[in-house]
Amino acid sequence: MYFPDISPYSYLKGASEPGTLNVGWLHPEHPFPTGSPSEQTLVKILVLCRYCVNQTRGTHHCYFCTDHPRVVQVQSDQGIICLGSAEIRVMSRAGKVYAAPTLIYHYMKNHNYRPPNEFLEALDEMDLQKLERFE
């Protein structure tokens, strides 16, 4: 499942606001920008993975991991989170919406994927404490 960053989201039509943009739909055939994510960025992504959307029954594997179990699991404060079967949404203050697979956490942490600046800025702007209060 590959989509270029900042292309219009079209994967699960009807399940998203019009104007939603893709981020982090990587594939080995397409090189991606790299960088080291901050710990704070990763924590935020992981929180969003707990509030994921578009859960599907199948699980996408990481195409970049070849030598260990390919279903990606992450230990969080709230228990084990299985990545690869749902999406997260990041909303900017200006009203832009970004759709990323939950695997983006793993891509950033383990494969140094660097999402576009506008996505990182929108993530910075999000107040996740507000999100946690809904629990």
CB of 128 vs Zn ion, minimal distance in Å: 24
Cα–Cα distance, 47 to 2 (Å, whole number): 24
- Per CB under 5 A, which of residues 58..87 are in contact with Zn ion? 62, 64-65
Q: Which is nearer to Zn ion, 62 or 88 (CB)?
A: 62
Nearest one of 99, 95, 105 to 53, comparing CA atoms? 99
Cβ-proximal residue to Zn ion, closest one: 62
| Backbone φ, ψ for residue 3 (5° rounding) | -140, 140
Q: Which is nearer to Zn ion, 52 or 65 (CB)?
A: 65
Binding mask 43-62 for Zn ion (x = CB under 5 A): -------------------x
3-state secondary structure of 89: strand
Cα–Cα distance, 30 to 18 (Å, whole number): 26
Positions that interact with Zn ion (CB under 5 A): 62, 64-65
